[in-house]
Structure formats: C-alpha cells, structure tokens
Chain A
Amino acid sequence: MILDVQDLLVRFPGVTAVDGVSLSVAENECFALVGESGCGKTTLARTVLGLQRPDGGTVAIAGTPLAGLRGRALRRLRAQVQIVFQNPYAALNPRMTAGRLVDEPLRLAHPDAGRDDRRRRAEELFDAVGLTGTHRSRYPHELSGGQCQRVAIARALAVGPRLLVLDEPTSALDVSVQAQILNLLDRLRRTRGLSYLLISHDLAVVRHLADRVGVMRAGRLVEQGPSAQLLDAPQHPYTKALLDAMPGRGRAALLADTIEAS
C-alpha cells in the first residue's frame, strides 16, 4: 500500500471534519473521494500530506507512519506525496515563469544536481506534461488554465512522488481542457506508476479515472468499493442521492424526481 489511513480523526472547534476514516490506496491505483462541500475531503488530504495533525488514528506512506517522524526523514517521506489543486492560477506564484516554477522544486529535490542536470530534468517534465519550450519563459497569466494546470502537475512531479493528491484537478477547467488533463493524468499513471488520491464532486470524472471510490458524508466514509460497481449499484442511500443529483439524464428523469420529491 502506498497510502494507509486508519481510524483517522481530525477535529476543529465545533466540527469533526474527519471522523474515523480508514482507507488505503494501492501501488498504481486511483482512489477517489467524493462527497459534498464540507464533508472533510480536503482535510483528509491535508492530513495525508502531513499539513494537518490528526487528533487520532494513523497515516502511513509506503508502510511508514507519518507520526513521530522528524527532520530529514519526515521531509523524505513527505516528498512521496504531492498535491495538485483545483485553481491552477492561485497555486502558482504569478511572478515566476513556468521554467522557474518547475526548477524550484527540482532544486529542493536535487540539491546536489548541477544546472545542466536540472535543465535536463525540467525538459523531461515539460515534455511529460505536454508543454513545449516556448511555454517555459511565460508567466502564469500568459498561460491558459489548462497550461497552468500542466505546470502545477510538472511541479508536483519534480520531487519524484509516488502518490499524487488531486483536489478537484479539473473543476475549474473547460470541458475540452478537462479532457486533455484527464488524458494526461491517465498517461502519467501508466508511464510513471503513480498512485492517485482523487477528490472530486463530478462522478463522471471519478468514473473515468478511479479504480475505487469512497463516499464521504459529514466526516465519515459511508461506502467504498470498485468504482464501476459502486456507481452502477450504490448501496448507501447517500450514494444514491449523489448519483440522482448528477445532471445529464434528461428532463424526464428530472421530472420523475420532482414527482418523487413532492
């Protein structure tokens, strides 16, 4: 298991954001977390990244528990997990070119590497995320949303992680750009053996990318299972409610639900 979360508990004043969640992500697997706003998805992700201390339970990365680690050992373990956020513009320093944005984590990950070595690695990353040399000298505002998200993914890959946390990676993007990013994520997983913890409210995206899905509600994991099975034959009423809320089944379905609801 690249990620193993057991009985995780995270409390904030007045709210238990993560309430006894256990889940694991296998090598090269994509596990998706779905659920409505405020159910605790991002808090869980932050805890996995070591950015949030749990009030109970454990997080283990590649078999090593996060708790108790300090200094270099902690940094090394943390480098195994990187995150890609929803809004690529907000996640990138507007005063740095794409080239520098990718060079920055490379320096951290390879402090002993020379300039040429880093340059080669950066080129390889740009290539991997489908950007060309002309993009390197551009600032975020000179790039499209999809290109920015590619830069963010290149940055995440620069430190050589084994698990990527993808927090709504395409929900700020247009449909046509979303397709490009989904294809990219799919390809990177296959070619680099990456694992993903995907957070999304779009069940179509989840169905497309994820092997397994966990449904969260009010801090708890109410159901988890293989994505096709869970989305085709949901067991928990909340999962059914989420599926019923997905648009795209036509007006008849919307009307049928209206009658049911009234």
Chain B
Amino acid sequence: MKQDKIIGAILLLVALSAISGLGLITVFIFREGVPIILRLGARQFFLSTDWEPSLGKFGILSMIGGSLAVTVGAAAIGVVFSLGLAIVLTQFSPPGLSAALKPLIELLAGIPSVVYGFVGVVTLVPLIRHTLGGPGLSVLAASIVLGIMILPTITSIAIDALQAVSPTYLEGSIALGATRWQTVTMVILRAARSGIVAAVILGMGRAIGETMAVIMVAGNALEVPHSLLDPVRTLTSNIALEMGYASGAHRQALFATGVTLFVIITLLNIAALGFSRRRPARSRVG
C-alpha cells in the first residue's frame, strides 16, 4: 500500500536522524576532546594528579581513581543486595510475588537522581560523619547511594537470568537430595552466571556515568582517595562542576574527560553484551 510506504519512509527518517544525531554528538565530543590529550601527551593527561586549570595543568588521575572507587564500591553493594533480592524472589517466594515486585523494583529506576542525592546528603552523610568520622561526604556515601541507584538495573536483569534457567536442573538436584539452597548455589547460579555478570557490568556502567547524586554526596575533593571516608571527585562530577565557567584549554580538557568516560562506558557495555550473548549452558536435547 502506498500509505504504508510513506509511513515506513517517515519512520526510517526519524530513526536515521536519531542515530545520526548520536553520531554527531560522538564526533563533536571527540573533536573537542582528543586534540588536547595529544597536545599534553596521554601520560600527562591520564597519569598525573595535578588538575589546576588556571596553571594549565590537566591531570585526571585522581578523578579516574574517584570514579573507579565509587563504581567498585557501588557494584559491591549493588551485587550483594540485588543478587540476594533476585534469588529470594525467584527461588524462595510464591510465583506471584516476583511478578508483582519486579515492576515495583523497576519503578525505583525512575526516581530522579537528585532525589537519591538529597536523601543521601540529609541522612547518610551525617550518619557517616558521626559514626565513622571524616567529613561524611565520601567514597562510602557515594558508593552506598550509587549502590542503591543501580539496584533496580542489576536486580531486574538478574531475575531474568535466573528465571531463564531450565527447571529441569532444579528437579535433578532436588531428586538427588539437595536442599533448595544447595541447588541455588551449586547449579542455578552457575547456569545463570553469564546473565548475572552482564547485569553487574551494566550496573557499573550506570554507576560510573551517574553525576548529580555523586556531586551531592562525594565531597568532590581533588585527591586520590586513600580510605572509604575520604571525599572524592569523579570524572562526571568534574565535568558538571566546571563546564559552566570553563573556556579554552580548560574547556577542551573537560571534553577530554568526557571522551575518557565515553570509552570506559562503551567498553563496559561491550563486555556486558559479550556476556549476555553467551547463552546459559543448556542441555542439547532440552
């Protein structure tokens, strides 16, 4: 039909312009950011902790350290709670409960990050300051807030991975006298492993890219953190905090920070894709 063809063409146009828009943004970021890395030298840019834009010093090592610290911290917290939740919901609850709770968990992902940051500043930061010492604004605070923020992502993908495990494994294991818990740890987690790893990596991608909540609770100090209670500045925070007034080489260095983030997140996504493509091992005749 003629009408179908027209609608098809319009949709194609929309899709292409969205993709080319993304492509243009990517090109723009790289064009603005890469030259200064080349000019300063990769060593100087990535491996120096001196970030003093007024003196022309642009070393982002402490921010790379900050981003890694909060991301690893968030992943650790996120994995423990998300996996626990996913296991309880898929293995130890009546079937309806997981179906009812999963949309609720996914709803958590829709809460604006500034809200998480606000709750963190008001409750978590003073708690850390009073019980553990330090300024409160810290790697720990950021890790906890991010860990909670990535919980929906990891939980939801982990639930899918666990539900995809063939029920014949459960039967086979129970029939050998295993308990539910032994079955989960010895077979089901193994069978769902690739999906769970993909879930964690995607969660880390979210954590490293998060900005607003981190600015509010991490303290933003320009130092490589030595303890969980030290304040840190992440790559994303650095861009958001300084872009407003930066110009010239400073501005380019912020774009270069963006390029760094872009590459890290792309690598994480590729890794996640690789793991989720690896189908959970399944019986040939099953």
> Are A and B associated in one complex?
no
